[in-house]
Structures are given as C-alpha cells and as structure tokens.
Amino acid sequence: MPYQALLENGVLKMKGDCVGLLQKTANSILLKWQTKIMNIICTNALHLQNRPRDSPVGSILVLNGEIVGEGIEGGKTFKDITFHSEIEAVRNARTLLQTPDLSDCIMYTTHEPCIMCSYVLRHHQIQTIIIGLASGDIGGFSSQYPLLKDENIRKWQKPPAVLFGILEEECRQLSL
C-alpha cells in the first residue's frame, strides 16, 4: 500500500509503508509541501495578470527535488479545455524528460485535479499528488467519479497517494 498522509489539526499523520521514517520527518515533509504549493500560488498570481479570464489554478511536477513541469490554467485564454494546469505540467515534463513514464514525479497542485486531468495523471503513472483545495463535483478524487482512486481499470497501475489540504485557505483565497 502506498503511504497515505492526513492532516489532523495542522499535524501530518502518516499511514502505510515506511511510516516510521516518514512520521519522523513529517514536519519537514509538510514544510516542503507547503513551500511548493506557496511557490505555485505566487507564480500563479503573476501569470494571472496575462490570463484574467482563467481560473487561478496552478500545478507543478517535481522529480528528485527539481521542477520538471509546470502549468497554469489557460482553457479560456486559448479556447481549449485541455489547457488545464495539470495537463500543461504533464506536457512540459514529457517534453523535458522525453518519456511518458512520470511515476517518479510528485504533482503539487493548488486544486484537486478534475476528471479529465485525473485520467491524464493516471495514464502517466504519477504516484503522489499533493493538493490544496477540493474541486467539488468535477474533482477526480472527492466527487462521485473518483478516477484517482479507482483500482479496477486493469490498464492502470495502482492508484496514487493523494493528500488534500496543504495551504487550503491560501488556495481558496486565490479564487476570491
């Protein structure tokens, strides 16, 4: 079982494989995740000046501590729904890494990936997804179409470890 992480009153609790080691380093992991999400929020704020009609959603893919892909929402700007930030980050990473296998990458994203993006993330075997804010009816994890959790699609490998709630309030503020 991949590890799972839960935020309880601001404290990160780990379950699953390697729990001992992870729990010992939980605070530094939490800080790292928060830093990554905060970086996206700041970058997003700058980009949004050029894409005022698009939702303030941003995503990055990280491999061995380095950003290998990044994206911000551009569906309205480009009149193309596939310009969601997660898909942009995947396109970016595929160009850089020259492989469809992104299983060693961690995705950080301000909002829960939608159903469309969840398909793309599962296809590329991304195994860890760190999320700020849930996306309601169109979310790929918390809605009634939880593609990110599904274990029954034989083509796909195991579902990713997913963590919600990192800087949730800050991500919500983006949309106000």
**Residue numbers annotated as active site:** 86
Which has the closest alpha carbon to 126: 68, 80, 81?
A: 68
| CB half-sphere exposure, 130, CA atoms < 13 A | 23
CB of 113 to Zn ion, least distance (A): 6
Kindly state the number of chain residues that form the binding site for Zn ion, as judged by CB under 5 A.
3
Dmax over Cα atoms in the chain, in whole Å?
48
Stretch that binds Zn ion, among 26-34, 36-44, 114-122, 123-131 (CB under 5 A): 114-122
Nearer residue to Zn ion within complex by CB, 84 or 122: 84
Residue 61 burial (CB count, 10 A): 28
One residue of 48, 106, 114, 162 binding Zn ion per CB under 5 A:
114
Q: Does residue number 84 form part of the binding site for Zn ion (CB under 5 A)?
A: yes
> Is residue 117 near Zn ion by the rule CB under 5 A?
yes
Of 3-11, 23-31, 103-111, 116-124, which part binds Zn ion (CB under 5 A)? Answer: 116-124
Q: Is 148 in the site for Zn ion (CB under 5 A)?
A: no
Rounding to the nearest 10 degrees, give the CA dihedral for residues 152, 100, 62, 95.
Answer: -150
* 12 or 148: CB nearest Zn ion: 148
| x-or-dash string of contact with Zn ion, 37-76, rule CB under 5 A | ----------------------------------------
CB 147 within 8 A of CB 114: no
Helices (H), the chain: 19-24, 26-48, 85-97, 115-123, 168-174
By CB under 5 A, residue 162 contacts Zn ion: no
Compute the least distance from the CB of residue 115 to Zn ion, in Å.
Answer: 8
Cα dihedral 139, 37, 89, 114, rounded to 10, equals 0
Measured in Å, how far apart are the chain's first and last C-alpha atoms? 37
- State the minimum distance, in angstroms, from the CB of residue 19 to Zn ion: 31
Chain residues in the site for Zn ion (CB under 5 A): 84, 114, 117
